[in-house]
Copies of this chain bind each other. A is one copy, B any other.
């Protein structure tokens, strides 16, 4: 059989999981109780397949370094890691078309693509492997294969796939159905012919492109044009291709279901029972963990008095709860969510309102991830700002200069190599340096443990855009909105 190229497609803001999921750290990066992110779990699922030598990831370009962080610890099999970096989200059809074109170019026309969302949970790996085996056989025979999850309740929040004529290892798809009402969902459950659409696919790259050319030619043509304008670069671990922004913005914004699956006659479904969840809401997430005798699920320091059926996730702050029932409480350093357990789908309305207001809490967490590590604003006041900066071993901030602010740096853990004006020196734990406004400076972690530093900024203007970059090992633009 031809090569299998798993393709993780990470799109969507995961607004129903605000305040943990935010634009700059969306749902795939959410960590579950075991400390692994959904993206890492997807990676492990892929790494657990035989005969897989590469992984293609389609993700927003701002999330590349964060994604590599998540993959790094898990890539013992040294999968080749290819990336298609989206300048913006254009839904799944353009992402999958780009993935298919990439695979045809690098791995051959007959290579098979296994498309996996980055933010779903699959608990039964053996069933997953078995389902893929059946899907590959069907894909080899020219089918566009979807995976249909056996329903265990009358869910109104998913789309359904209706089984048609039986095939070897699956079924022809009779129809796709949008999210049904409850009566319809109950009839589907009773009838046994309808499966949940899990958004996972398996097909030969050439078949996908041929069908897509027939049913949604603008998508393929738009993506081809975009790829012609994009410059792939051979990175340390694989090809990184940043998609050209102007042309990608012109590709139709459309889902693969709507563009192709609902139109093509070549679509099959493999029914399966994978322990699957799309973790579409806080309520769905809480269902993954057992509750105590009062129906509560608690993470963090909590004092409860007469509390039942509550999910409280507060890793850093004390919560006192009194006389409440069936709430979902999610605490983060800068924002708190309190929702009725029956209404957690509506959390998206809070996130949408924040987006409308252009509020930082839609986009960023208080701890912001950069290619070199993280920074956290501890406090801001008139003419000063205090940050905690963590630089990973071997990493380096750009050589830079600020016009309007000076900075005090104090090393609290690890060792820093500092360029400060004309001087270049080591700064050990509990040592400090002062960087006047206008001085060129650079911060490097030459050690083997994380460097943690407190930066106290002082000046008349402390905006992140007061930065002049001279040199950046991550290839970032000479002047950027980003910090450091």
* Residues in chain A within 8 A of chain B (CB atoms): 18-19, 303, 305-306, 314, 317-325, 327, 329, 331, 334-340, 342-344, 346-347, 349-351, 353-354, 359, 361, 378-379, 381-384, 386, 388, 406, 408, 410, 412-413, 429-430, 432, 434, 452, 454, 456, 458-459
Contact = CB atoms under 8 A, between A and B. Distances in A.
Contacts of A322: 337-340, 343-344, 346-347, 349-350
Contacts of A456: 410, 412, 454
Nearest to A331: B336
Instruction: Give the 6 A-B residue pairs with the shortest CB-CB distance, closest first.
Output: A323-B343, A323-B340, A320-B350, A384-B412, A322-B339, A430-B458
Nearest to A342: B323
B386 A454 contact: yes
Contact of A336 (B336, B378, B430): B336
B346 A317 contact: no
A222 to B, nearest CB: 36
Contacts of A459: 430
A377 to B, nearest CB: 10
Given A430-B458, A432-B432, A335 B323 contact: no
| Identical chains in the assembly | 2
A454 to B, nearest CB: 5
A375 to B, nearest CB: 13
Nearest to A350: B320
A329 B331 CA distance: 13
A337 B320 contact: yes
Contacts of A349: 305, 322
B354 A336 contact: no
Contact of A319 (B336, B408, B452): B336
A319 B354 CA distance: 11
B347 A335 contact: no
A340 B427 CA distance: 52
A157 to B, nearest CB: 16
Which of A324, A338, A361, A454 is packed against the most chain B CB atoms within 10 Å?
A: A338
A353 B318 CA distance: 13
Given A327-B324, A353-B303, A383 B340 contact: no
Contacts of A378: 378-379, 386
Given A381-B452, A406-B430, A346 B323 contact: yes
A319 B329 CA distance: 11
A334 B318 CA distance: 6
A319 B347 contact: no
